[in-house]
Amino acid sequence: MIPIGGSLTGETQIVRETSRTYQFDFQRSKIVGFTDGLDAVKQACMKIFQTERFAHLIYENNYGFESRGLIGRPPGYVRAELKRRITEALLQDDRISEVSDFEMIIHGDEAVAGFTVHTIFGDFRSEVNSHG
C-alpha cells in the first residue's frame, strides 16, 4: 500500500524467472541434476507432448497435448489439426515465441510431424508421433 501523499518513483524493472529446473533422464526415468536455457525448454516440450491434455486433474486445462481423436480422419484434416494442436500446446510456454516449418508424413493410422521451435534461447527442431 502507498501511504497517503506518497508516490511511486523510479523505473519499473521486469525480471524474467529462470528456466533452471531438474534434468530428467527419460531413458532411465530419473532425475540427474539440473538444466537451464535451451535444454530446459527442450525438456519442457518433451513433457508437454507426453502429457495428454485434459486427462490429469493436477494440470491446468492449457497444459499438455491433445493426441486423441485423429484416427480415421482425412489426411488434410489431420495435417491442419495436428499443426494447430502442436502450436497451441507449445505456445503456452512463455519461453516459446513461434512454431514453424512444419513437415508431416501420414501413413495409415500414424502421423509424424517435424517442426522448428523458436525460443528466447534459440531455435531447435522437434518431432511428434501421433498414432492410435
Reported as a single tens digit per residue, the pLDDT across 106-124 is 988 889 999 999 999 999 9
Q: Which residue has the higher pLDDT, 71 or 12?
A: 71
| pLDDT one-digit tens code per residue, 57-75 | 999 999 999 988 888 889 9
Q: Where are the domains of the chain?
A: 21-131
Distance CA 124, CA 115 (A): 8
Question: What topology does CATH give the domain 21-131?
Answer: Nuclear Transport Factor 2; Chain: A, (3.10.450)
0.85 exceeded by the pTM? no
